């Protein structure tokens, strides 16, 4: 088993993506109104400082993309080039031009067969459609056939964000919870068992709400039949530690997660290096039954990704 430290929640911002989306829109999505800068040199420097051997690259959530299929193909090719030029330092979760399922299916074929990607990143909702919606069923059928890893990342909710805090502070964890519940209640998790779903940020508020979710499903006969065992469905998810390195979130997560399904993540560059350094100190000192840091840092991801 690999003893490498693997960061499964690691974003990249190639210039071609920034130019296409526009810096103003990227800035608007950040709590401080300033999007992070990114370079491969900065990424490797952060990794070296924090003892990270390999990072799995993904494009983070953002605004609606112009000509998404073409742009995301270029981003996926760029990630493949980084993997080739920096052997062993990077993997990749390919982006898909959803909600266009037909275009996404074409990208799945190209990304797996040609680029040999580690999996795919999808967002919690597309125009208000959460991932358990029947719209996505053809995609899940194909990814189940391929036994794919699917990294679920939050994005803007389809409703107006209350002026309490920026969306990334509260709405993003709630979005992860909503789409995870959608995947469970719709029966997607139970039906497509060959897909390995990773939930960002320790699953948002899902660990805290599992008892409430299980009770609610038990009171809905049709949903209960689709879901089966709610706790088993939740336990099938993988979870990363990005922005969730603390005793409170990880203690809650340990109550509902398979210990082999907890993965290390940083959320670089949206989490600055100083925050990653601080979260790392917390993780190094974690002493929670069910959270074995040797597994979290690398062994679990190595098994999942075939390292």
For the beta carbon of residue 224, count every other beta carbon within 10 angstroms.
16
CA angle 199, 204, 206 (to 5 degrees): 90
pLDDT means per 10 residues, the chain with 307 residues, are 84 91 68 80 97 96 80 97 97 97 98 98 96 98 98 92 84 96 98 98 97 97 96 98 94 97 96 94 93 95 96
Task: Tell me how far the alpha carbon of residue 94 is from its chain's centroid.
Answer: 11
The pTM of this model reads: 0.95
Q: Could you give the 3-state DSSP secondary structure of residue 208?
A: helix
Task: Tell me how far the alpha carbon of residue 72 is from its chain's centroid.
Answer: 17
- In angstroms, the CA 239 to CA 202 distance is 5
Residue 264 Cα distances to 49, 57, 93, 238, 279, angstroms: 16, 13, 15, 11, 11
What's the pLDDT at 188?
98
Residue 240 contacts residue 265 (beta carbons within 8 Å): yes
Helices and strands counted in the chain (H then E) = 15, 10
Buried b (16+ CB within 10 A) or exposed e, 97-113: bbbebebbbebbeebbe
Dihedral of CA 116/13/82/272: which sign?
negative
Nearest to 96 by CA among 153, 47, 45: 153
- In angstroms, the CA 236 to CA 8 distance is 17
Q: Long-range contacts of range 288-294, CB-CB < 8 Å, 24 or more positions apart? A: 288/247, 288/250, 288/251, 288/254, 289/254, 290/254, 290/255, 290/257, 290/259, 291/250, 291/253, 291/254, 291/259, 291/262, 292/259
Pairing of strands 125-126, 129-130: antiparallel
What's the pLDDT at 202?
97
What's the pLDDT at 263?
98
> With respect to CATH, is domain 6-305 assigned 3.30.200.20?
no
- In angstroms, the CA 210 to CA 176 distance is 13
Nearest to 83 by CA among 43, 114, 117: 117
Q: What residue spans define the domains of the chain?
A: 6-305
What's the pLDDT at 33?
67
Q: First-to-last CA distance in the chain?
A: 8
What's the pLDDT at 161?
86
- Laid out side by side, the sheet with 54-58 consists of 6-11, 54-58, 90-95, 119-123, 149-153, 196-199, 238-240, 262-263
Residue 31 Cα distances to 105, 155, 165, 166, 167, angstroms: 34, 14, 8, 6, 8
- In angstroms, the CA 205 to CA 124 distance is 14
What's the pLDDT at 166?
81
What's the pLDDT at 2?
54
């Amino acid at each position: 088993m690999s003893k490498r430290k693997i960061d499964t929640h690691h974003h990249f911002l190639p210039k071609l993506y920034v130019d296409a989306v526009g810096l103003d829109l990227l800035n608007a999505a950040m709590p401080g109104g300033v999007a992070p800068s990114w370079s491969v040199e900065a990424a490797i420097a952060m990794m070296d400082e924090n003892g990270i051997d390999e990072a799995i690259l993904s494009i983070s959530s953002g605004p609606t993309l112009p000509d998404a299929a073409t742009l995301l193909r270029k981003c996926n090719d760029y990630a493949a080039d980084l993997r080739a030029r920096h052997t062993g330092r990077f993997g990749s979760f390919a982006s898909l031009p959803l909600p266009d399922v037909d275009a996404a299916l074409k990208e799945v074929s190209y990304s797996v067969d040609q680029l040999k990607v580690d999996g795919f990143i999808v967002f919690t909702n597309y125009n208000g459609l959460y991932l358990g919606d029947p719209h996505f069923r053809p995609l899940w059928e194909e990814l189940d056939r391929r036994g794919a890893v699917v990294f679920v990342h939050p994005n803007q909710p389809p409703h107006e964000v209350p002026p309490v805090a920026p969306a990334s502070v509260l709405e993003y964890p709630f979005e992860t919870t909503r789409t995870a519940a959608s995947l469970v209640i719709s029966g997607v998790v139970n039906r497509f068992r060959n897909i390995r779903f990773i939930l960002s940020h320790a699953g948002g508020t899902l660990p805290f709400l599992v008892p409430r979710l299980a009770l609610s499903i038990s009171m809905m006969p049709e949903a209960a039949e689709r879901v089966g065992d709610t706790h088993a469905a939740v336990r099938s998810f993988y979870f990363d530690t990005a922005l969730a390195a603390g005793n409170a979130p990880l203690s809650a997560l340990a109550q509902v997660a398979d210990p082999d399904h907890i993965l290390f993540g940083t959320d670089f560059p949206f989490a600055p290096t100083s925050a990653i350094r601080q979260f790392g100190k917390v993780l190094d000192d974690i002493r929670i039954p069910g959270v074995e840091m040797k597994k979290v840092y690398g062994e679990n991801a190595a098994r999942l990704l075939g390292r």
